[in-house]
Each structure stands twice: as C-alpha cells, then as structure tokens.
Chain A
C-alpha cells in the first residue's frame, strides 16, 4: 500500500493541483483568479503528460551505447504544443480582463452581472 501510494506520488500531486485549479476557477468571483485557476488546471494536465512519458530506469531519449532503455519523448513534445496553446489562451484571457475592467470598472463577476442586468432593463 505504502509503495503504491509513494510510487504514484506524482499522480497524487497532479490530482491535487488539478482540483485546486478547478475549484478556484469555479468558486472565485474574481476574473483574474478564475484565469489563474484555469492556468493551474492546464498545468496539471501538462504535468500528467510528462509523467506518463517516464519509463522506469530509462534515460533521456538520445541514442548512446551505454543505455538500453529510454524515456518516451513523445508526450513531452506534445506538451510543447499544449504549452503554446496555454500561453495563447492566457494572453487572450488577460487582454479580455483588461478590456472588461475598462468597460465595467470592475473585475468582480457579481458586480459586472449587476451592471449587465441594469443595462438589460433599459
């Protein structure tokens, strides 16, 4: 049991990061914190991919004569793409927050919703 728990330590941590990220994203009324939560959630998935690429006793995937087992490089390569996508999402999210803040003078969801409701009534 202990070896199982310790052997999968990285996965437990990843699940933790993922849940914290998702909880922040869903519960926080602050747009900036929402975006931070989203970023954490994405990061957890990236860590997950890197973890599944690990092969026991494997070295870096560069062919040498001494090594016989190599780690799987593909998940890491995939994550390079995912990181780029994540950066683009964050950039767009921040840009939107800046414009929302200029338009509504607030970053709190409740406050913005109140203003929208008032607008709708007009």
Chain B
C-alpha cells in the first residue's frame, strides 16, 4: 500500500512528458484516460484502506523524516485524492469532443500534457507531508493551469490567465515567505515535526508572521472572499474541460491545505485565541452573500456559475472558522459535494457552449424544449447547488448550520440561509430562461457554413448525468465522504485538544 501511494504522483509525472511528445490527439487522449483510470483505482484503494483511522507513511528515497520528504496519507487527504482522481477521470471522458472543438489540433497533445500536470500538482499537494514540497506542487499545478486557461478560444482568456498568473504567483510567494519564517523559527520543514515541536518555538513573534503569510497566500489560491478577483474570469474564459477540472478540484485542494495548516501544523490552541476564527467567518459570510449576489447579476451561465463558486468557497471558509466538529466536517464534506455539483453544472454549461456557441442567457430563451437533456441536468444539479433535502448540497449545509447553531452564532446561520435564498434565485433565473421564457428560435452562433455541428453528445451527456446522479446518490447515501471527514476531524480535533 505504501508503494501505491507514491504512484499517485509518479504516474502523471511519467505520463505527462510522454503525452507532450506524442503529437496525436487520439493517443494523447487515450493516455490521459488510462492515467486517470489508474489514479482513480489507486486512490479509491487508498481511501478504503485509511477510513478506519490508519495513517500511511511513505518515505521518498528511503530518507527518514524529518530530513527526507515523506508522504502522509490519512482519511482527509485520501478523500481529496479521490475527488481529484474521479473528477479528472470523468472530465477526460466527457471532454474529448469539447477539447477537439476548442483546442487547435496542433496543440491538443500539449493541452492534455498540461492537464496531466495539473492533476500531478493537485495530487502532490494532497499527499505530501513536507511543507516545502507542497509549495513546489502548488506551483506545478498553478503554472499548468495558467497555460490551460490561456488556451480558451476567446482572446479574453489571455488576460484572465495573466491576471491569475499575477495573483497566483503572489499567493504562492507569500506562502513561500511564510514557510521561510517558519523554517527560521523551527529549523524543520516536515509538517508532523513542526507540529510536534511547536511549543519550543511558539513564543517567537516570527511564528505569527509565518501564520499570516501562509494564510494569506493560501486564501489567494483558494479564492477566499476579498482575494477572489481572479476566479470568475479565469473560469469563464477557460476551455470547458479545464473549467470543470479547476472549478471542482483546484480551489478545494487549496482549502484542504488551509485546513491542514490550521489544524496539523499550527495547533488549534495557538490561533483560536486570536481574531482568526472570527475573521475567517466574516470572510466566508461576506463571500457567500457577495458571490451569490454577483451570480444573480450575471448573464453568462459560465460566469454565473463561477461567482457561485466564490459563494460556495465561502461556506467552506465559514466551516473552518466555526472551529467546531460540525463546522469542520461540513467544510470537508462540502468540498466533496460541491466538487460533484459544480462538475455537473459546468459540464451542462459546456454542452450548451459546444452546441450553441454561446452561454449567454438572453440567447438561450426556451432552450429547454430543444435540448431537454442538457437543461434537465441543469435543473437537477441546480437543486443540489441550492441544497434541497435529498441532494448532496443539503448534507453539508445541514452540518454547517448545526455547527453555527452549536456556537449560538445566529448571524452565521442567517447568512447561510440568506445565501441559500440567493442561490434559489440565481438557479431559478437559469431555469426560468430555459423553460418558461417564450421560445425564440435558437440560433447557432459562429459556425462556418458547411461545418458539421456537434448535434448529439451521447458520451458527454452520460458523463454529465453520472455527476447529476452522484449529486443525489451522495445526498441519500452519505457514508463515503462523511465517514472520511469524521475520521479526519476526530483525528485533528483530538490532536488540538491534547496539546
């Protein structure tokens, strides 16, 4: 089992350069598919192994930690690895046609290579137990995603990618600076070692500075409320496949790192007394209200969903800020549920884009009659986004509200409800346009005459419905994400209490 865990990083590392060298779109796609399939199988096996509370350690090159780099897999990061691997797998199956349509033939193998590098970076961030190693993986995944976003077919994609590059690098450099301060104080880079010896250097002022730099750097990466400005444009302009992957995994992994830092590097007792939990809750609450409100104002479906992502990240940040068992469980479960829900929604949006070459709502009036399957997926996944009972979105919001009420924090509970009402409004806005507005004749935009339109997308539709099905399945049978989250939370909160 230890050897299997390192394969999660090694397979994409070997696969990506091979894909970049083979200039054939079918081989590139098949290679990516095989890679994702392997990762999905391995990560599912690893998750199955660790939900009991076991922790897997793998020492790279046989060097003993804290000197060598080690991979530490517990039920939290195994869950993250499963999210990344499965979303990537379904995205690859879903995205074959859309990638062929959006990416130029001569670049498509490079596109898939960069796609694999993003997965590599995210996997590495999830698995590593070494804080500097984490920075390197963070940069690998970020650099590859800047390149992928820039491949969007509109020229605005370039500007979106550049802005993301500036913001992302700034965040990563802040994170690096924080690691530097922490290293100067402690002399170690191993997370477990840092946590174990924390009391020796906790009194140094340096450590607070380190915490703040790390926090702000990660908040930029996770697009927490005031630092989210790069996200909407990047998700709107990126090619469909990239949007699906990034929206459902990359910010989640950053939130995961935030949780890891706050509970297993810096002990809970250290930052609890500061203003930090309150500040996280404030950022989260403002994020969900602002994101939902902005989503309501959008005309383009893709941008609407992107702003809704800002709002959903707010829920996770609030969950961390609540700083109790229910809140943290909600944050982790919401990472999983939101990944599934947003993947389904962006897949549906991608199919609209593929067939009609627009996602602008004022051009989609009455599309429900012409595209019943795609719009049906929208409506069903939208229910999960709102958090209707019986869907995945409900479970995490339920825990979140419980966490807020356990603290007697009615303001937070109120914000969650307020944001949910806004969510009903913006999902309704889409449904109203698609089903109830007088149906104009649908126009297919920007297609050269004589070009075959992608009329039916059976594979993509199937993938989309698989995700929609998952939204409902995980709403009724919550054991997989919930058990993993509860094991992880107990381990983390247990540590915090003991110290």
Contacts and interface: CB of A to CB of B under 8 A. Distances in A.
B146 A92 contact: yes
A34 B177 CA distance: 20
B204 to A, nearest CB: 13
Interface in B310-368: none
Interface of B: 132, 135-136, 139, 143, 146-147, 150, 155-156, 158-159, 161-162, 165-166, 169-170, 172-173, 176-177, 180, 183-184
A48 interface: yes
Given A100-B159, A116-B156, A119-B156, 16 more contacts: A34-B166, A38-B166, A41-B170, A42-B169, A45-B177, A48-B177, A48-B180, A52-B183, A82-B176, A92-B143, A92-B147, A100-B155, A100-B162, A103-B155, A104-B155, A104-B159
A45 B155 contact: no
Contacts of B177: 45, 48
B158 A25 contact: no
A38 B161 CA distance: 15
Contact of B146 (A22, A96, A112): A96
Contacts of B132: 78, 81
A38 B170 CA distance: 7
Contacts of A35: 166
B169 A96 contact: no
A63 B184 CA distance: 23
A31 B166 CA distance: 10
B70 to A, nearest CB: 16
16 contacts: A25-B170, A31-B162, A38-B169, A42-B173, A45-B180, A85-B139, A85-B172, A88-B143, A89-B169, A92-B165, A96-B146, A96-B161, A100-B159, A100-B162, A116-B156, A119-B156
A49 to B, nearest CB: 5
Contact of A93 (B135, B165, B176): B165
B120 to A, nearest CB: 14
A45 to B, nearest CB: 5
A97 interface: yes
A85 B179 CA distance: 16
A99 interface: yes
Instruction: Specify the main secondary structure of chain A where it touches its partner.
Output: helix
B173 A41 contact: yes
A77 B20 CA distance: 29
A31 B163 CA distance: 10
Contacts of A92: 143, 146-147, 165
A81 B136 contact: yes
A-B pairs, top 10 by smallest CB distance, nearest first, are A103-B155, A85-B139, A52-B184, A100-B158, A96-B162, A45-B177, A99-B158, A89-B169, A49-B180, A42-B173
B361 to A, nearest CB: 14
Interface of A: 22, 25, 31, 34-35, 38, 41-42, 45, 48-49, 52, 75, 78, 81-82, 85, 88-89, 92-93, 96-97, 99-100, 103-104, 112, 116, 119
A52 B158 CA distance: 38
Contacts of B161: 96
Contacts of A34: 166
Nearest to A85: B139
A100 B159 CA distance: 7
Nearest to A46: B176
B162 A97 contact: yes
A96 B145 CA distance: 13
A100 B148 CA distance: 15
A38 B169 CA distance: 8
B146 to A, nearest CB: 6
Contacts of B172: 85
A82 B135 CA distance: 9
A90 B172 CA distance: 14
Contacts of A97: 162
A89 B150 contact: no
B159 A112 contact: yes
A8 to B, nearest CB: 13
Nearest to A103: B155
Contacts of A103: 155, 158
A4 B20 CA distance: 53
Contacts of A93: 162, 165
Contacts of B180: 45, 48-49, 52, 75
Contacts of A89: 139, 143, 165, 169
Nearest to A90: B169
Contacts of B159: 100, 104, 112, 116
A81 B135 CA distance: 10
Interface centre among A38, A96, A103, A104 (most CB of B within 10 A): A96
Contacts of A75: 180, 183
Contacts of A48: 177, 180
A34 B162 CA distance: 10
B221 to A, nearest CB: 14
Contacts of A96: 146, 150, 158, 161-162, 165
Nearest to A35: B166
B211 to A, nearest CB: 17
Nearest to B149: A96
A1 B150 CA distance: 51
A87 B3 CA distance: 32
Contacts of B176: 45, 82
Contacts of A49: 180
Nearest to A109: B159
A82 B176 CA distance: 9
